[in-house]
Amino acid sequence: MGYGDGEGTGVGQKGEGARLAVPALPMPVAVLCCVLNFLIPGLGTFVAGCCNLCCGKKDGMTTGQLCAGCAVSTGIAFLQLLTTVLFFIGWIWSCIWGVTFIGWSANYYHGDGATDNKVEQQPQVIVINNSGQPGQQQVIMQPAPGAEQPPEYKQ
């Protein structure tokens, strides 16, 4: 799956090279293609390739690259259907491919969950009362895990 803001080239990044085989589709279309892949191996892959021409995220891809992606998806769909008779390998491959459509859609249209949905952690406060007397407490502030210490605490 890709990382970043949808730009870059080469396999493994969110560029056009990696997207020739796995198109970045809107989430409802990706879910539909996933369901179709579970029902009939390769059908969702074929539909995803065709949908990439009209509703997929293009990001500067030329018409030739979009058509090549459609042809690659059609070939993969045919292989998924063909290899289903061999111990359901094509069906398993098709199911994994369908889940991959959803993953790419989530990354492309909704950003990386690891970077976009960070919850700000609060510093930890520890109150120590060794004497048992009220009012004689020591308060220790520790920074949140992964946070930098304030400048006054750095040495």
Amino acid letter, residue 117: N
pLDDT value for 61: 83
Does residue 152 belong to any structural domain of this protein? Answer: no
Q: Answer whether 14's CB lies under 8 Å from 8's CB.
A: yes
Q: Answer whether 26's CB lies under 8 Å from 33's CB.
A: no
One digit per residue, the tens of pLDDT, for the chain of length 155 reads 444 444 444 434 455 556 678 888 999 999 999 999 999 999 999 999 999 888 888 777 888 988 999 999 999 999 999 999 888 899 999 999 999 999 988 888 776 544 444 455 666 666 666 666 666 666 666 666 666 665 565 55
pLDDT value for 101: 92
CA atoms lying within 13 Å on the CB side of residue 97: 31
The helix/strand/coil state of 81 is: helix
Does residue 83 belong to any structural domain of this protein? Answer: yes
Domains in the chain, number: 1
pLDDT value for 13: 44
Q: Residue 81 sits in which domain range? A: 18-116
The pair of structure tokens assigned to 147 is: 């946070």
Beta strand pairing status for 138-142 and 124-128?
Answer: antiparallel
Does residue 146 belong to any structural domain of this protein? Answer: no
Does residue 33 belong to any structural domain of this protein? Answer: yes
pTM of structure? 0.61
Q: Answer whether 18's CB lies under 8 Å from 121's CB.
A: no
The helix/strand/coil state of 32 is: helix
Instruction: Provide CB contacts within 8 A for 80, sequence distance 6+.
Output: 37, 41, 42, 45, 90, 91, 93, 94, 97
User: In this structure, is the dihedral angle defined by the CA atoms of residues 15, 20, 26 and 31, taken in order, positive or negative?
Assistant: negative
pLDDT value for 23: 86
Does residue 145 belong to any structural domain of this protein? Answer: no
pLDDT value for 129: 65
pLDDT value for 113: 42
CA-wise closest residue to 23 among 34, 117, 39? 34
Does residue 101 belong to any structural domain of this protein? Answer: yes
Does residue 48 belong to any structural domain of this protein? Answer: yes
CA distances from 22 to 90, 117, 122, 149 (A): 16, 25, 40, 43
